[in-house]
Amino acid sequence: MVQKGPRPLVLCGPSGSGKSTLLKRLLKEFPDKFGFSVSHTTRNPRPGEINGVHYHFTTKEEMIAAIARGEFIENATFSGNMYGTSKQAVNDVQCSGRICVLDIEIEGVKQVKKTDLNPLLVFVMPPSIEELERRLRARNTEEEEALKKRLDTARKEIIFGQEPGNFHIIILNDNLDKAYSELRDFISQNMEEKERALVETVIIFFSMVKLSEKLFFEDSDEMRR
C-alpha cells in the first residue's frame, strides 16, 4: 500500500526529449523538496549507471513475480525490457516528506492515473522527430534497429502526449533553460494553490473553534440564569 503524502510529479516523454535532464536539474536545485522514485528494470546497466541510484536492476523472473504480488503501481515493457515503479520506491520518498518524482513511460502514466495518487502530469515534447533522432544518435548507445524502434515508439508517445486530458501541461524542450523555467513555474503555481487551500482550511478550522467557544459560553450563561 502506498502511504499518503504530497502529490507526486510525473514526467513523461520520448527517450531523448530531455526529461531526465530536467529532472536532474530539479533535484539538484531542490534536494529537500523533491525525491526521485528509482524505477526497476530488467535491462542491463549502461556505463556509469549504479544499481539503486539510476535504476534497481533486476531479472525478468523476479520482476514478474513482484508484479504478481502487487508490489508495483505501474509497469511497462519497452524495447524488450521491463520497467516499473514499486510501491516501496514511492513510499521511501513520501515518508521523507518530499514530493515524489516519477520518470515513466506512457503505459505507466495510464496505470498511475487509475490510482489514488492524483499526480501532476507533465509531458516533455521534443522540438521534432528529426531533432530527437539527432540526440539519440549522439548518444551512440544503440544499434540501428533499436534506434528505429525508439523513434517509432516516440511518434506514438508524441501522439498520446498531445491528446487533450492526458497531461496537465506539455513542455516543448527546444531550449533547456526555457523548458526548465516553464517546469518550475508550473510546479510553483500548483504548490501555491495547495498552500492557499491549506491556509483556507486553517482559517475555517479556527473559525469553527471560535464559534464553538461562543456557543459554549452562551449555553453556560443560560444555565447560570
User: What burial class does residue 5 get, using C-beta atoms within 10 Å of its C-beta: 0-12 exposed, 13-18 middle, 19+ buried?
Assistant: middle
pLDDT of residue 142: 79
Q: How do residues 69-81 score in pLDDT, each as one tens digit?
A: 999 999 999 878 9
Of 7, 134, 137, 139, which residue is the catalytic one?
A: 139
Q: Which of 15, 25, 12 is nearest to 153 (CA)?
A: 15
pLDDT attached to residue 204: 47
What pLDDT is stored for residue 207 in this prediction?
A: 52
What per-residue confidence (pLDDT) applies to 97? 86
Q: Cα(115)–Cα(110) distance, rounded to whole angstroms?
A: 10
CATH number of 9-196: 3.40.50.300
Domain positions in the chain? 9-196
pLDDT at position 200, please? 42
- For residue 150, indicate whether it is catalytic: yes
Q: What's the pLDDT score for residue 53?
A: 92
CA distances from 30 to 26, 55, 147 (A): 6, 21, 34
184 counts as catalytic: no
7, 46, 137, 155: which one is catalytic?
46
Q: For this structure, is 137 an active site residue?
A: no
Residues of the chain with confidence (pLDDT) below 70: 1-4, 191-225
